[in-house]
Amino acid sequence: MSPAGAGRTSLRWRFTAWLFAALVGLAGPLAIYYQLRIDHLVAREADDRLSALARHLASGALLGVLAKSEELLQGTLEGALSERDVLSVAAFDASGSLVASRAREGAAVPSWSGESTSCQPCSVGEHRLRWVSPVRRRLAAGGGETQESFYAGPPPGDSGSANPVGWLVMEVSTERRREEERAVGRSGLLISGAVLVLAMILTLFVAERLTSPLRALAAATRAIARGKWNAPLPTRSQGEIAQLAVDFRAMTAALAELDRENRTYREQLEGMVRARTRELQEAYDRMKEMSEAKDQFVATVSHDFRSPLAIIQTSIQTIAAEAEMPPAQRRIFLDRAERQCKRLGSLVSDLLDLARIENRQAAMERVSLGQVAEEVIDVSRSNFEALGVQLSFASPPAPLFVDLDRGQIERAITNLLGNAAKFTARGGRVTVSVAAHDARAIVTVADTGPGIPPEEVGHVFERFFQGERGRAAGSGSGLGLAIVAGVA
């Protein structure tokens, strides 16, 4: 259920509804009961008041009834009409004969019958009641014989010890009583409505106070479900809810710490996966390069071996086919085959040297680099003199001792010198220098030849690569500079 739909049946509204229903269920019967009690008390008070008025009037009418004098009854009867509820009043003697009466305008004078003595009160029409009160003699103060006396207050009640000397009949209207009852009812309804409104307000307030921590916990739960670990929790709650908030906060802190650890572990794992993927990619690229290099190496070696072998085979077949070939011509073919055999030997030697360089560990020793370079130059000097190329050496200002594999370094310098001699014209110059730069020792071989074309600079150290000038020279295997790179 969505939060909007859940609000209509939330704990706050359910609690409010149940508490309000409980208050109405408790207060409703009480209100009805007290309303009925008030109506009963109002009716009883009116009855008691009118009954007391009837007895009072009966006591005051004693002399008038005995004397059967309307004049003596005038004050009593008119006094009765001063009560707003009294419609008419009449005095009768013991035989039931009318002595005197008074009635309001539009009201009838009460009649008399033998059954009227039981009206205390009785209903005689819509909203009308009749009281019949006996007129009796009062006992003397000492309890002796009866005597006639003037009115001395309401009689204490009918003793039944003496026969009445007359009757006082009074008819009253219950309109005012009913109006008072309706007014009391309206007041009760207003009070009940006000109480219900106050009860509703109080219920809402109590429900709000009791359920707000729970709603705050629910909101925090939804926020935590979205990954917001620092969601605010209720701080003003008490009792079990406060303990629940404390436990919830501890649980949230533990979950946040676990999430941080998981995130850290995930980042580390992702880093490891990326590193391993990169390593695998690099290894794959290296293997691919090695495979391509191997294929190229095999193709190049096959090509470089095929050409000399074809020349050797052709020379041998030609000599074998012509038995009468002159010695001078035979010598030409044999020299050609010998040159190709030497070329194959040189190629095989270079391949073996390159393989040894790549597969064996260097035998390091501490020697003077300048001395090593000078010894290689002395060995190569005769070859340069035969070519008419000047070879010079620029030694370092001070002996430069380094850790190196002497045999490997000598081979690298020899190859560099051979390459320089091949591309330096007669009368040119090749210079070898040894110097220190920062923490490195640098051996430089420079010549006055044509140089390397820019487009070939990036390939000169590749196996079997021979530039345009190298191919034109027709010598070399294309492995000399590759061996130098391997040594380096």
Q: Which of 59-73, 171-185, 356-370, 466-480 has the highest mean pLDDT?
A: 59-73
Q: Which of 138-142, 151-155, 445-449 has the highest mean pLDDT?
A: 445-449
Q: Which among 355, 368, 353, 325 has a CA at the least distance from the CA of 414?
A: 353
Q: Which among 161, 157, 169 has a CA at the least distance from the CA of 132?
A: 169
From the number of C-beta atoms within 10 Å of its C-beta (0-12, 13-18, 19+), residue 50 rates as buried
pLDDT of 40 higher than 80: no
Tokens 């809810």 correspond to 241
Write out pLDDT tens, residues 148-202.
Answer: 433 333 444 444 445 788 888 888 887 877 787 778 778 877 887 787 788 778 8
Task: Check: CB of residue 315 under 8 Å from CB of residue 334.
Answer: yes
pLDDT of 426 higher than 60: yes
pLDDT tier for residue 72 given thresholds of 50, 70 and 90: confident
What is d(CA 464, CA 304) in angstroms, rounded to the nearest whole number?
9
End-to-end CA distance of the chain: 74
pLDDT tier for residue 146 given thresholds of 50, 70 and 90: very low
What is d(CA 410, CA 403) in angstroms, rounded to the nearest whole number?
14
pLDDT of 248 higher than 50: yes
Q: Which among 99, 105, 107, 111 has a CA at the least distance from the CA of 57?
A: 99
What is d(CA 221, CA 240) in angstroms, rounded to the nearest whole number?
18
> Which strand ranges, in their side-by-side order, compose the sheet holding 440-447?
390-394, 429-437, 440-447
Beta-bridge mates of residue 404: 365
Write out pLDDT tens, residues 330-357.
Answer: 888 888 888 778 777 767 776 666 666 6
What is d(CA 256, CA 302) in angstroms, rounded to the nearest whole number?
67
What DSSP designation does 142 have?
T
> 368 Cβ partners below 8 Å, 6+ apart?
399, 400, 401
Give per-residue burial for 12-24: e unless 16+ CB within 10 Å, then b.
beebbeebbeebb
Q: Which amino acid is at 121?
A: P
Task: Check: CB of residue 481 under 8 Å from CB of residue 460.
Answer: yes
pLDDT of 211 higher than 80: no
Whole-number pLDDT of residue 315: 81
pLDDT tier for residue 273 given thresholds of 50, 70 and 90: very high
- Find how far residue 295's CA is from the centre of its chain: 59
Q: What is the mean pLDDT of residues 399-409?
A: 84
pLDDT of 243 higher than 60: yes
Q: What is the model's pTM?
A: 0.36
Count of beta carbons in the 10 Å neighbourhood of residue 323: 6
Task: Check: CB of residue 333 under 8 Å from CB of residue 315.
Answer: yes
- Find how far residue 4's CA is from the centre of its chain: 18
Q: What is the mean pLDDT of residues 385-402?
A: 85
Q: What is the mean pLDDT of residues 300-326?
A: 78
Whole-number pLDDT of residue 157: 42
Q: Which of 94-108, 235-249, 274-288, 413-427 has the highest mean pLDDT?
A: 274-288
At residue 447's C-alpha, the angle toward residues 444 and 448, to 5°, is 150
How far from 345 is each of 341, 377, 471, CA to CA, in Å? 6, 24, 19
Pairing label, strands 429-437, 390-394: parallel
Whole-number pLDDT of residue 114: 63
What is d(CA 292, CA 279) in angstroms, rounded to the nearest whole number?
19
What is d(CA 310, CA 320) in angstroms, rounded to the nearest whole number?
15
Query: What length does the chain have?
Result: 488
pLDDT of 446 higher than 70: yes
Q: What is the mean pLDDT of residues 219-230?
A: 74
Q: What is the mean pLDDT of residues 80-100?
A: 85
Q: Which amino acid is at 141?
A: A
What would the two tokens of residue 264 be? 């850290």
Percent of the chain's residues with pLDDT above 90? 2
What is d(CA 236, CA 209) in angstroms, rounded to the nearest whole number?
10
Mean per-residue pLDDT of the chain:
76
Give per-residue burial for 151-166: e unless 16+ CB within 10 Å, then b.
beeebeeeeeeeebbb
Cα atoms in the Cβ-side hemisphere of radius 13 Å centred on 405: 13
Whole-number pLDDT of residue 143: 47
Q: Which among 63, 54, 74 has a CA at the least distance from the CA of 150?
A: 63
What is d(CA 214, CA 5) in angstroms, rounded to the nearest whole number?
17
How far from 38 is each of 25, 94, 173, 180, 382, CA to CA, in Å? 20, 39, 20, 11, 146
pLDDT of 115 higher than 70: no
pLDDT of 142 higher than 60: no
